[in-house]
């Protein structure tokens, strides 16, 4: 059998989930014995200083004998996070429409804070002391 045939036989079902700079791949594959297992791959895009980019990938292999415990643990951890912190995303970096601003720009709130701090300043003449 050719390598291509073996790869096609191994990949049974796939789903892709895009999440900002990360992409998650869920792939059902077949073992040589014909049983199924799941791979979960996180692929994250990184941009180099020269504008080129590369991806870092992390993969988890999950076998049927671990499904039940994995599912229970995942559900427990998700519930804990939602119960403790709610579903609202706190860090704006993780919002899908997040755009990084240049560090040189000041926001309106920073400008107002600077204005307030200078307007509350009291001019003191040392001759008055």
Sequence spans of domains, the chain: 3-91
Q: Which residue has the tokens 């990184």?
A: 46
Look up the pTM and report it: 0.60
Q: Which residue has the tokens 């307007």?
A: 119
Assigned CATH topology for domain 3-91: Nuclear Transport Factor 2; Chain: A, (3.10.450)
Among 44-48, 55-59, 71-75, where is mean pLDDT lowest? 44-48
Q: Where does the pLDDT of residue 100 fall: very low under 50, low under 70, confident under 90, or very high at 90 and above? A: low
pLDDT at 116: 45
What is the rounded distance in angstroms from the CA atom of residue 98 to the CA atom of residue 77?
A: 26
Higher pLDDT, 1 or 63: 63
């Amino acid at each position: 059998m050719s390598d291509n045939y073996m790869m096609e036989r191994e990949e049974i079902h796939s789903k892709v989930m895009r999440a900002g700079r990360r992409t998650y791949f869920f792939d059902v594959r077949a073992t040589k014995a014909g049983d199924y297992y799941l791979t979960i791959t996180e692929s994250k895009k990184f941009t180099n200083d020269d504008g080129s980019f590369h991806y870092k990938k992390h993969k988890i292999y999950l076998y049927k004998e671990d499904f039940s415990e994995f599912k229970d643990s995942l559900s427990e951890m998700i519930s804990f996070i939602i119960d403790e912190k709610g579903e609202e995303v706190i860090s704006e970096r993780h919002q899908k429409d997040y755009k990084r601003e240049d560090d040189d720009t000041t926001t309106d709130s920073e400008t107002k804070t600077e204005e307030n701090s200078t307007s509350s300043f009291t001019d003191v003449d040392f001759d008055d002391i």
